[in-house]
Structure 1
Amino acid sequence: MSTASFVPADLAVWLDTHAELLDSSAGHAREIVPRLAAAGLFGIGVPVTYAGGRGGAATDAVEAIAQVASHSLSAAFVFWGHRTFIEYLLHSPNAGLRETWLPQLLSGEIAGATGLSNAMKYLSALEPLQMKAEPVAADGSGARRWALSGSLPWITNLRPEGFLVAAAFDHADSGKPSIFAVPHDLPGVGRSADLDLIALRASNTAALKIEGAQLDERWMIADNASTFLTRVRPGFLGLQCGLSLGLARRALASVALARPASRLALAADAEQLADELARLTDQLCMGIAAQTYVEDASNLFRLRIALASLVASAVNLEVQASGGQGYLREQSAVARRVREASFVPIVTPSIVQLKHQLALHARTE
């Protein structure tokens, strides 16, 4: 993974200054996407042939998310959702959709939201698709057209100012699910109020309901959801692992800045966690670079589980290092990272879901 610093100093200062508010309120929610875009972060790992693309490898995008997460998991969570949607367009065979929307996504003019958590569970046989597509008469262009319906209870980066959300739909006529990019202003698309989260409240996380909204094939990201999801799952999960990397790094860095007596007492534990973090980071990067996780998702699942466990241990070590000071409001960054760490195991696919999938896989071997 690149050791380059992707987060400019002014953005780092803004994130550190507002990290508590981004976690506890939605007051600065509308600023996250524009600020990340202004720093060029969405273009990392995107070919320079696209306007706004900065080139680099997919692992550079993971590193950029990790660096943002070391300042604010709320901002990094938004970054992950937006960058994952960009990844979908980069892998989509629909060149027209990509050429139309990628520039606006890279510039932050519109938010990208990955509504494919339900679809990822469907791919792992954990739950059925919750969205349906019914064919309707073609429009004047002759393009195939569908009426879309269904609801998704939890999607991040549904910016009220404008969003595109990826969602998978079951086709009653063909039995082959597909994935559409659904625009926020399409008649029949409704966004709930922000969910009443205990943390990450500036992430524009809300429910989505679609009732009879009509789209044609020009909005289709992929006509075969299962094949497409298998191909993009390493990006979905790999980018998500950046959240854990950044949070674990920040917690261990805080331990290193603790009082001398605390540092000395916790030095062996901190060193062990740092070594494990380095090992898992290398494993993640090598697998993404070699594309081994496309066919062998199990190792990526195990890696995600291991990182969640490491984050919990690192933050617990920070709690020990901070002592009673960590309970003072003026030292609330420690408490915030405890809340952030508690989110890592439940973000889809959750650790329980991944362990369930690994257990099923083991029984079929």
Structure 2
Amino acid sequence: MLDTAFRHWLDANAEAIDQGQCDPHRVLAHIAESQVLRVGIAPALGGSGGDVTDAVEAIAAIASRSLASAFVCWGQRAFIEYLLHSPNEALRERLLADLLSGELAGATGLSNAMKFLSGIEALQVQARAQADGWILEGRLHWVTNLRQSGFVVAAAIEAEQGQAPFVMAIPSASVGLERSDDLQLMGLQSSSTAALAFHQVQLDRSWLLHDNAREFLPRVRPAFLALQCGMSIGLARRALDEVREHLQGRGSFLAEAEQVLRERLENTVGELKQGLLDGRFLAQPAALFKLRITLAESAADAVQMELQASGGKAYLTAYGEGFARRWRESAFVPIVTPSLVQLRAELQRQAASV
């Protein structure tokens, strides 16, 4: 799935990317040069063909080497997915080529919106209508891929009373849009993750992704979450590969446990792909939530198994650097919005309402 040069670059730079010692601009540039952003997109639109399940596998392949890089790829690819589903063809024609080439960074600021859709929190950006658009006020507290050299971010906007919330693309050059310094994370530092404040930001209708968030968000949610699941899939597969490497064919209870976990993982991946292809997640989002939870748990279990297989070596700097990074990565997976706590709360709410 990944070309040889990109694999080698990820392997050589995974620690630097995680610790913020790699220019974030280079991360997105290498992702774009590898052509993975074009996977799952029709050739007529500049893609290489396939479907969204292929894009999930592309993100998983990156995550097996660097979750921070996969996180950046997810943000970019998710924004591209929003454009593909938007009725605003002029906006798609204006932005898509630069997004696919990595010239422009795309940020998925819809984490707040996905929580809004499930009734978890209110929208954090509000609009006041004017002649040919809106004036925006508010804040997005955590957004990835806000590249300093320029970006466009998707956000769901709370409209004035009596009107439907809508979804917009907001360019970084907008007057009144303020980007914070990069957030100081435990890892994932070269992911251009920051907060955004909206101070009287004026935008016209040409930046509208969809005029009704309650219609648009359920339509893009399957891809939003499935692409996100690619991070769990890639991390789990890599940890299980490390288990096999440590065991070197020796039969043991760990070898049997590794096989059971790998089968559970791949069966879940199969369910995810089937649900994406047959469209069931549009009407049954709970089924997707459960798969997201299972995949996150599989990643955590796989990294824990890697620790058991490697033993004390995991705590020796010379041997355990990759493991230490994967441990931090596995701690991040459950809190990516929507977090596992939020998903379980939503599943509990749905069960109670039946």
Residue 339 of structure 2 corresponds to residue 350 of structure 1: yes
SS in 1 for 2:164: coil
Q: Out of 255, 263, 279, which is 1:291 matched to? A: 279
Deviations 1:325-350 (A, max 9, x none): 11111221011100000000000000
> Which residues of 2 match residues 261-272 of structure 1 at below 5 A?
264-272=252-260
Q: Which among 171, 175, 180 is matched to residue 163 of structure 2?
A: 175
Tell me the distance in 1 between the aligned counterparts of 2:61 and 2:169: 28
SS at match of 2:116: helix
Q: Which residue of 2 aligns with 1:220?
A: 208
CA contact (8 A) 2:13 2:22 kept: no
Please say if 1:307 is aligned against 2:301. no
Contact 1:134 1:173 in 2 (8 A): no
Partner of residue 120 from structure 1, selected from 114, 130, 140:
114
- CA deviation after TM superposition for structure 1 residue 173, in Å: 4.5
Which stretches of structure 1, 4 residues or more, deviate above 4 A after TM superposition?
Answer: 259-263
1:55-88 CA-partner distances (Å, limit 9, x unpaired): 1111000000000000100000000010000000
Q: Are residues 1:364 and 2:353 paired?
A: yes
Q: How does 1:158-197 map to 2 (within 5 A)?
A: 158-197=146-185
1:113-170 CA distances to partner (integer Å, 9 max, x unpaired)?
A: 000011000000000111001012x3xxxxx211011101100000001100000111
**TM-score normalised by L of structure 1:** 0.95
Q: Which structure 2 residues correspond to residues 68-217 of structure 1 after superposition, within 5 A?
A: 68-136=62-130, 138=131, 144-217=132-205
Higher helix share: 2
Query: What fraction of aligned residue pairs are identical, expressed as a percent?
Result: 47
CA–CA distance in 2 between the matches of 1:110 and 1:173? 34
Contact 2:247 2:255 in 1 (8 A): no
- What secondary structure, in the 3-state scheme, does the structure 1 residue paired with 2:44 have? coil
Tell me if structure 2 keeps the 8 A contact 1:255–1:263. no
Determine whether 1:8 maps to 2:3. Answer: yes
Do 1:135 and 1:173's aligned partners in 2 also have CA atoms closer than 8 Å? no
Name the CA shift for 1:260/1:99 in 2 (closer, same or farther; >3 Å): closer
Q: What is the CA–CA distance in structure 1 between the aligned matches of 2:63 and 2:18, rounded to whole Å?
A: 12
Separation in structure 1 between the aligned mates of residue 87 and residue 68 of structure 2, nearest angstrom: 31
Q: Is the 8 A contact 2:142 2:194 kept in 1?
A: yes
* CA distance 1:345–1:181, shift in 2 (3 Å): same
Structure 2 stretches lacking a partner, 5+ long: none
1:280 and 2:268 are equivalent in the alignment: yes
Corresponding residue for residue 141 of structure 1: none
Alignment deviations for residues 261-301 of structure 1 (CA, whole Å, 9 cap, x no partner): 87634111101101101110100000001111011000000
Across the aligned residues of Structure 1 and Structure 2, the Cα RMSD in angstroms comes to 1.1
Q: Deviations over 1:196-253 (max 9, x none)?
A: 1001111110001111111111100010001100000000001001001000000000
Q: Report the Cα distance in structure 2 between the residues aligned to 1:337 and 1:40, rounded to whole angstroms.
A: 25
The match for 2:37 is 42
Aligned residue pairs: how many?
A: 353
- Closer/same/farther in 2, CA of residues 217 and 26 from structure 1, 3 Å limit: farther
CA contact under 8 A between 2:123 and 2:157: conserved in structure 1? yes
Contact residue 65 and residue 246 of structure 1 kept, 8 A = yes
Equivalent residue number for residue 318 of structure 1:
306
TM-score relative to the length of structure 2? 0.98
What code does the residue aligned with 1:337 have? R
- Verify: 1:18 aligned to 2:13, yes or no: yes
Q: CA deviation at 1:26?
A: 4.4
Letter matched to residue 215 of structure 1: L
User: Separation in 1 of the partners of 2:214 and 2:100?
Assistant: 27
